Chain A
Amino acid sequence: GQSLEQPSEVTAVEGAIVQINCTYQTSGFYGLSWYQQHDGGAPTFLSYNALDGLEETGRFSSFLSRSDSYGYLLLQELQMKDSASYFCAVGPSMDSSYKLIFGSGTRLLVRP
């Protein structure tokens, strides 16, 4: 089967840098995605890594290491509005071009 692990909660200070890790057990998948979800809101796409290495999009970066079955989301210059839940997701895969398997989410609390 497929499973993902990420910390349940992370706390950081405004202006700081925080890294949210994601380890997974799966095979034959094409990439690792990250989604942000504010309380009461919908998940919104942040990034997708199909290849090993770092992808940067503004203050957010995402990293993937297939050999280590590991990825992370790096948030820099934290702002209060970054307080949200962050989900990693694996997929699509050879079994399904459309299916994403989500982790249980990491709740990020940004303090002043």
Chain B
Amino acid sequence: DTAVSQTPKYLVTQMGNDKSIKCEQNLGHDTMYWYKQDSKKFLKIMFSYNNKELIINETVPNRFSPKSPDKAHLNLHINSLELGDSAVYFCASSPGTSGRRQYFGPGTRLTVT
């Protein structure tokens, strides 16, 4: 199936740990994104890459580091996890030179205890 996929779907970890979330899209899109959706369902952009180049870098703690090994993959590494990092993280991608239509992955529910 053509889609945006993320692994893992669920991630439960303790404070202070380091974890990574992986994202892959086989839609042939040039641009990929990471969003954070909090418990109130507020969806906020974190990062975006276009052809492996960082183009959006919102005000996010530097414990969060994205990496794009190629234009089909965008990973998110989080260091020293905190309780407030608990959220659902969505990866998305968009075609062409505009982000107006974005295709979202299924999300990764991160719970920090």
Contact = CB atoms under 8 A, between A and B. Distances in A.
A42 B99 CA distance: 17
A100 interface: yes
Interface residues of A, number: 24
Interface in B27-51: 31, 33, 40-45, 48, 50
Given A42-B107, A99-B48, A85 B41 contact: yes
B100 A42 contact: no
Contacts of B12: none
| Residue of A48, A99, A100 with most chain B CB atoms under a 10 A cut-off | A100
B43 A43 contact: yes
Nearest to A89: B43
Contacts of A33: 100-101
Interface of A: prevailing SS:
loop
B101 A91 contact: no
Interface of B: 31, 33, 40-45, 48, 50, 55-56, 90, 94, 97-107
22 contacts: A30-B98, A30-B100, A31-B100, A42-B90, A42-B104, A42-B106, A42-B107, A45-B103, A85-B41, A96-B55, A96-B56, A98-B33, A98-B56, A98-B98, A99-B48, A99-B56, A100-B45, A100-B99, A102-B43, A104-B41, A104-B42, A105-B43
